[in-house]
Amino acid sequence: MFNYRTLVSTITVMAFLAVWEFAPRAGIVDATFTSQPTRVVAAGFEIIRTAGFLHDVSVSLSEFALGFTLAIAVGVPLGLVLGRFPVLRYVLDPPIMAIYATPHLALLPIIVVWLGIGMQSKIAVAFVSGVIPILVNAMAGVRGVDGSWIVAARSFSAREWDVFVKVILPASLPSVILGIRLGLSRAVLGVVVAEMYQSQAGVGNEIMRYGSEFRTDYLLFDVLLVSLFGLTATSAVRALEERLWTAGE
């Protein structure tokens, strides 16, 4: 149960936390800049009790939920269609690849110009961040479908719709879910960074505020909170993915 891997990992994490905790105490570094594990935990208890915290969390969560749902709703069907029809793909592939190669958060300022500093712009950023990997992977999934499955379906006189529903869709599902997982962490990041850039509320807004107030421990707690959220959501999708793979491969 306690094998070599967990032993080594635990020891290094402990060592890291210990150095982080005791270096400021020994006066090697300034805790204002680095904070300390104990302080971060303490900050957590304080933040949870502050008036704006729940509001900020709910703002960020709803921005994420709306933007990401939109990304799935647009990315999956569009990706599947683009994967199935090469002509459309040739037309749309270059702009999509250009966006894919671009650091998508560079769009922040223009999105703010278009949609203002309220929730809409964050929803848009979550959408833009999430939609590209979803679309690209859905497309790749369809293109990776084994031709022999389609021929087999055709040999039983399958109509185009049957081929799509009974072969293309299930065959590309793992790839679609992978895209959703990749898009998810990007959308979480997108919301937080958009809030950090210009906003009136949200966890990213708090992070920026705590940063300017030199409250490193508060800031780190918020960062950890977002990481934890991203990690949990990603792990949930990954678990789903693994179940699909064991069923499918």
Partner 1 sequence: MDARTVVEPAPHIQVESLTVVYEKPKAAGTLIAVSNVNLDIARGTFVTIVGPSGCGKSSLLLSIAGLVKPASGCVRVNGKPVSAPGRDRAVVFQDFALMPWRTVIDNVRFGLELQRPRGLTGGDLTERACRYVELVGLKGFEHYHPHQLSGGMRQRVGIARALAVDPEILLLDEPFGSLDAQTRDEMGSELLAIWERNKKTALFVTHGIDEAIFLADQIVVMARDPGRITKIISVDLPRPRTVETTDSKRFIEYRRQIRECL
Partner 2 sequence: MKTAPALVGITSFAVILLVWESAVRFGFINPFFVSEPSAIALSLSRAARSGELWHNVTVSLREFAIGYGLSVVIGVLAGALAGRFRTVEYALDPFLWFLYSAPLIAFYPIFVLWFGLGVPTVIAMTFLLSVTQIATSTLKGIQSVNPGLLRAARSFGATDRDLLWKVVLPATVPMMTAGLRLGIGRALMGVVVGELFGATAGLGYSISYYGALLKTTDMIASLIVVVVLGVLCTQGLTAVEERFDSWRTF
Asked if residues 100 and 132 have their Cβ atoms less than 8 Å apart, the reply is: yes
For residue 120, the partner it binds in partner 2, partner 1, none, with Cβ less than 5 to 8 A by kind, is none
Instruction: Please state, in angstroms and as integers, the Cα–Cα distance from residue 196 to each residue in 16, 188, 200, 226, following that order.
Output: 28, 12, 10, 13
Considering the complex, what minimum distance in angstroms separates the CB of residue 2 from partner 1?
33
d(CA 72, CA 127): 9
**Based on the number of CB atoms within 10 Å of its own CB, is 223 exposed (0-12), middle (13-18) or buried (19 or more)?**
middle
138 near partner 2 (CB under 8 A): no
Which residue, 18 or 151, has its beta carbon nearer to partner 1?
A: 151
Amino acid at 213: E
Which residue, 73 or 97, has its beta carbon nearer to partner 2?
A: 97
For residue 214, the partner it binds in partner 2, partner 1, none, with Cβ less than 5 to 8 A by kind, is partner 2
Residues at the site binding partner 1, with contacts judged by CB under 8 A: 146, 148-149, 151-158, 162, 166-167, 170-171, 173, 244, 247-249
Which residue, 145 or 163, has its beta carbon nearer to partner 2?
A: 145
For residue 31, the partner it binds in partner 2, partner 1, none, with Cβ less than 5 to 8 A by kind, is none
Asked if residues 161 and 75 have their Cβ atoms less than 8 Å apart, the reply is: no
Number of H helices, E strands in the chain: 12, 0
108 near partner 2 (CB under 8 A): yes
For the four alpha carbons of 110, 116, 118 and 120, in that order, the dihedral sign comes to negative
Per rule CB under 8 A, count of chain residues that contact partner 2: 57
CB atoms within 10 A of CB 133: 24
Which residue, 5 or 155, has its beta carbon nearer to partner 2?
A: 5
Which residue, 103 or 147, has its beta carbon nearer to partner 2?
A: 103
Here the tokens at position 144 are 């990776």
d(CA 16, CA 26): 15
Residues in touch with partner 2 (CB under 8 A)? 4-5, 7-9, 11-13, 16, 32-33, 90-95, 97-99, 101-110, 112-114, 185, 188-189, 192-193, 196-197, 204, 207-208, 210-212, 214, 216, 219-220, 222-223, 226-227, 230-231, 234
